[in-house]
A and B are shown apart, each in its own frame.
Chain A
Amino acid sequence: MKVLVPVKRVIDYNVKVRVKADGSGVDLANVKMSMNPFDEIAVEEAIRLREKGAAEEIVVVSIGVKQSQETLRTALAMGADRAILINAADDVHTDIEPLAVAKLLAAVVAEEQPGLVIAGKQAIDNDMNATGQMLSALLGWSQATFASELAIEGDNAVVTREVDGGLQTIKVKMPAIVTVDLRLNEPRYASLPNIMKAKKKPLEEKTPADYGVDVSPRLSVVKTSEPPERAAGVMVSSVEELVGKLKNEAGVI
């Protein structure tokens, strides 16, 4: 079985995000970028499937600026077999919307014919949580989102999902889309020997036009602003006072 893993280059999770002065978005110039952490978990899971003999080949695909190559190389160094870069933007601030990404991925799926797509549940930049679901709809494939466990049983994927209030285990027929949550695994570090080997692994460059997909945005960003600063707290002198404030001022009990 072939596994396809989409990976996105996003602002690093350690970077303090700053909103651009004109409110058009967040400042990404000269900012550290790295692989979306959920996508790292997806890559790791694909590698583990291959190590268990449940998968033969892992193809990673990234859609965005040319520098997404680095993200793909990281995935290759972790253990993916080959990579596809779809050059869809020149400016790092251009965000390719989930629908366009899903359409491009659907086209890649048509070409590659994977048995499974493993994706991050969302990217930590825009937190859309949409691409996996849209891809499932476009392909007419089953979807299993927010996976915290994944097992392949014959033609089925058995997925434990993190849902409100607990865990839900479902069985979906493959080919399928699985989107992964934080607790699925601990991704490995790209080791130095594998970084060297990754250099020789194939990385194919494409454009959206190759797949006949229009990536121009459908949404317009009206405003981007920092979340309001947290107001200072107050010290209460007794439990009674705390309960009173929660009841009367906060109105939460």
Chain B
Amino acid sequence: MEPTPELIEEIDRERIRAARAMSGEEKVLLGLQLFQCTCRIIADGIRDEFPDADVRRVQEILRERLAIARRLEDTP
């Protein structure tokens, strides 16, 4: 789905403006919040795939998936 180039520019400008208005501390916090949000959604997916998994097992699989993500990032 492709928005017009003008809109992309406008949104990018808006994002850059928002990022510039944030302090370094706020940006670190946002990064942590995004990571937390990502992990919550991955964990929801793991629970959907493994309905019998307990909390500990879900955490184990989550760690495995984060390791896969790091490995894939390093793969050209």
A and B co-occur in one complex = no
Binding site for B on A (CB under 8 A): none
Binding site for A on B (CB under 8 A): none
